[in-house]
Amino acid sequence: MDFLHTVASLIVTLGILVTIHEWGHFWVARRCGVKVLRFSVGFGKALWSRRGKDGTEYVVAAIPLGGYVKMLDEREGEVPEALKAQAFNRKSVYQRFAIVAAGPLVNLIFAVIAYWAMFLSGVSTVAPIIGGVDPASIAARAGVPVSAEIVSIDGRDTRSWQEVNLALAAHVGESKQLDLGVKTSASAEPRNYVLSLENWHVDLENESPLAAVGISPYRPVVKPQFARVVDGGSASLAGIRAGDLVVAVDGQPVQEWAAFVEIIKASAGKPLSFLVLRDGRELDIVVTPASHRRDDGVTVGLIGAEVQLPEWPQEMQRELRYGPIDAVAEAVGKTWSMITLTLDSIWKMIEGVISVKNLSGPITIAKVAGASAASGLEDFISFLAYLSISLGVLNLLPIPVLDGGHLVYYLVEMVTGKPVSERVQVMGFKIGAAILFSLMSLALINDFMRL
């Protein structure tokens, strides 16, 4: 079921984004008088098709990893004399530029609309309160205090942990001093702490920028209390119920869920004596964790129970909500921040500052899509907006095969007054295809390495 949910989430996610992208090309092409022969979401064999009154064939194909808009073009086949005026190649260079640019631009516009809807309805988050500082870290050397709120980074306001991480990510690979605005409950005004990023190394594949500076977020204590007990599991068979709180295991006090889980994992097949608090009464219950062999060959214990997650303190809960006009400004600002971060990350990857191991392919996208869909509509829309920005930015890169490569050709044509030669375009296509194939292969390898 998890696999099917992940696959379905991938198909829905890519289906939405591809449809939006291709609709941009389609809509502008029609406005420029170009005849569209086919609008396809997906590649390969058609699973569904319908011919519209406009003569366009609308298709949903079997491979949901892209799509295309096929336009009438004399370079791709014989065109009747009566339809030549509707051929893509007969249009002015400015019209062709607009048609090609429309796809990625619509992806960016979609992100603005998605963020606008989120800010209008309200975005739930928690205040970025510092829970701990690593004694040997950059933050510790700067004297950053615990239990304080991060209110700005280098002058950029931070209202959530996501904004903190994004602001820090923008400075990965830099050797500079960074101002961290921090506010404590005892002070009315924030105080700046200077983080020295000299020799700051971040392994983005395994840690967040926040962890790399030595700061860990505040988290409420998660007690070893059960929210749900799986029927037929070791806990259920032993008599454990939802709501039970484990006070001790084999006579040793247990206060946090993480420590309790480690005990269970290390006790496969071994009877454990739980001291449980239920409705104000203490009960002794013996539970024998079942043995489970993981993919890495290690055998761990499982009891079949889910933790009761604590509620965040009311004063730490935030809801970012704006009116229709202010939400537009916030959405545009958020989209622009994500565009610049994407471009900056690509450049740093070229420089070698960020490892190419951070490239992700369809498997990672599927997993994140599934997780965000399971987390709720807000998370899924946020992920859609982020992926739409990535798709728009990547398609605008000046690589032949991508939209950006064609736009470069049209810019040259605008300057010189004549189209780029067919020979140059063919050579560019081969180079671009090789680059794209290499990047896709690397992304897939990274995906499989993460499994």
Whether 302 and 234 have beta carbons less than 8 Å apart is answered as yes
Q: Cα–Cα–Cα angle for 364, 370, 375, nearest 5°?
A: 125
CA distance linking residue 332 with residue 55, whole number of Å = 37
CA distance linking residue 241 with residue 235, whole number of Å = 8
Q: Which residues partner with 216 through β-bridges?
A: 132
**3-class secondary-structure state, position 355:** coil
CA distance linking residue 189 with residue 127, whole number of Å = 17
CA distance linking residue 365 with residue 12, whole number of Å = 12
Residue 396 CA to chain centroid, in angstroms? 19
Q: How many CB atoms lie within 10 A of CB 48?
A: 10
Whether 385 and 110 have beta carbons less than 8 Å apart is answered as yes
Whether 151 and 183 have beta carbons less than 8 Å apart is answered as yes
Whether 322 and 330 have beta carbons less than 8 Å apart is answered as yes
CA distance linking residue 266 with residue 246, whole number of Å = 17
Count the residues in the chain: 451
CA distance linking residue 261 with residue 162, whole number of Å = 28
CA distance linking residue 303 with residue 291, whole number of Å = 9
CA distance linking residue 215 with residue 307, whole number of Å = 25
Q: Which residues partner with 338 through β-bridges?
A: none
Strand runs labelled E in 16-115? 36-51, 57-71
Nearest Cα residue to 54 out of 42, 67, 72, 66:
72
Residue 22: active-site member:
yes
Q: Which residues contact 174 (CB under 8 A, 6 or more apart)?
A: 197, 200
Q: Which of 22, 149, 163, 330 is catalytic?
A: 22
Residues designated catalytic: 22
